[in-house]
Amino acid sequence: MALIKDSSPAWLVLADGQVFRGRSFGVKGTVIGEVVFTTGMTGYQETLTDPSYFGQIVTQTFPLIGNYGVNSQDFESAQSYVSGYIVREWCNAPSNFRSEDSIDHFLKRLNIIGLWGIDTRRLTRTLREAGVMNGAITTEDPAANMDSLLSEIRAYAVRNAVASVTGTEVRTYTPENAKYRVVLLDFGYKRYIRKSLMNRGCEVIVVPANTTAEEIREIAPDGIMLSNGPGDPAENTQIIENLREIAKLGIPMFGICLGHQLMALAMGAKTEKLKYGHRGANQPVIDLVSGKTYVTSQNHGYAVVGESLDTAVGAVSHNNANDKTCEGIRYTAVNCFTVQFHPEAHGGPLDTAYLFDDFTSRMDAYKEEK
């Protein structure tokens, strides 16, 4: 049976004073966050449970969301980290053999405030032209307290992002016939990174973001994975300092997304905030070694400034075909390579999964040398 959609009004108020009136789904209330957009046509459940969206109000550019429902198998984490969720329309009669619930019930269960029925194309154009900006979703008419609400919106900033999403305990995941031992530094990791490693025979030991080089040395891994995560990478000064020391261990390292950015900062490069970021499953990336172009899945608002990397330390290995920003680095001074995109997310048919195989090859070489 189709659900009866809530006709209660809800509003989006942007920091520049624009107001979008729509309707409510999920839970009711008021939430403030950084308003961003993602272009994925599918993968909304993964988006909602990706810790990299911490502190952000996520807008889906695809007009219909929820048509295949949600299920308990595709979560990227145990909860949702988005501040709020915006769609043009949500499907109240999902159809898929794996579907267990509707997206509206999913948002209610995870206590997420949603807004639907607004012109998401207009909102996306605003963010593309002006850049990402703060905003608020509210189910209370904002006209009565607009001045105070705008003050709160403009004062908002995403802070302590990694500390808010990282685990606090060491957790070990062991597949059958494990061949490698990998430490996964949890900056807000997606579960499929762990699964991609386990599928290749890796015992994965997930450790908190602030784990030190000495603590990793005691674990004696064959490889170190630097995960994705949210926020401004430069904010994580202690983690960056830790990575400098971790790199000296000589253990093969592979970084994804925030892990890519943090490693670059540890090696002396700089990062910058992009105007509206890369979020979606259709970002073209050029492998500068092979010359091939891959369609990749991405979710980030910051990028490494490729020109800031000392050529004695490493070289840019991948570029974004659209804006030419740095999408990967292969280091020569340390045993490490990193990418900005998500090779585990399969923007195309296993397009960049080969990077996990590159990682296991490095671990094979490391084990032979020991």
The reply to whether 4 falls in a domain is no
**Active-site position among 278, 327, 344, 346:** 344
* 274 in the same domain as 302: yes
Rounded CA-CA distance 98/219 in Å is 38
169 and 135 within one domain:
no
In tens, the pLDDT along 222-236 reads: 999 999 999 999 999
Domain count along the chain? 2
Cα Rg of the chain (Å, integer): 21
Q: Is residue 2 part of a domain?
A: no
Examine the domain organization and report whether 132 and 270 are in the same domain: no
In a domain, 1, yes or no: no
Domain check: are 189 and 309 in the same one?
A: yes
Q: What percent of the chain has pLDDT over 90?
A: 93
Q: Does 349 share its domain with 234?
A: yes
The neighbouring-strand residues paired with 183 are 205, 224
Provide φ and ψ at 193, rounded to 5°. Answer: -65, -45
What does the block give as tokens for 212?
């030190």
| Region 207-235 average pLDDT | 98
Q: What is the DSSP letter of 96?
A: -
Is 152 an annotated catalytic residue? no
Which residue has 């609400």 as its token pair?
149
CATH code (residue 307): 3.40.50.880
54 and 117: one domain?
Answer: yes
For residue 297, name the pLDDT band (cuts at 50, 70, 90): very high
Reported as a single tens digit per residue, the pLDDT across 332-362 is 999 999 999 999 986 655 688 899 999 999 9
The per-residue pLDDT for 160 is 96
The one catalytic residue among 91, 202, 257, 326? 257
Choose one of 135, 158, 181: the last residue of a domain. 158
Domain with 22, as residue range(s), is 9-158
Given the residues 278, 300, 318, 342, select the one marked as catalytic.
Answer: 342
Q: For residue 331, what pLDDT is reported?
A: 98
Domain end, chosen from 158, 181, 214, is at: 158
Q: Is 71 exposed, middle or buried (0-12, 13-18, 19+ CB in 10 A)?
A: middle
Contacts of residue 169, Cβ cutoff 8 Å, sequence gap at least 6: 208
Give yes or no: residues 362 and 230 share one domain.
yes
pLDDT one-digit tens code per residue, 23-65: 999 999 999 999 999 999 999 999 999 999 999 999 999 999 9
**154 and 197 housed in the same domain:** no
Residue 3 domain-assigned (yes or no): no
Residues 210 and 229 in one domain: yes
From 97, 129, 158, give the residue that closes a domain. Answer: 158
> Any catalytic annotation for residue 202?
no
pLDDT of residue 347: 61
Which CATH number covers residue 114? 3.50.30.20
- Residues 282 and 250 occupy one common structural domain: yes
93 residue type, one letter = A
Position 349 scores a pLDDT of 57
Tens of pLDDT, residues 164-201? 999 999 999 999 999 999 999 999 999 999 999 999 99
CA distance 302 to 142: 31
**Quick one: 126 and 264 in the same domain?**
no
CB atoms within 10 A of CB 111: 11
Is 278 a residue of the active site? no
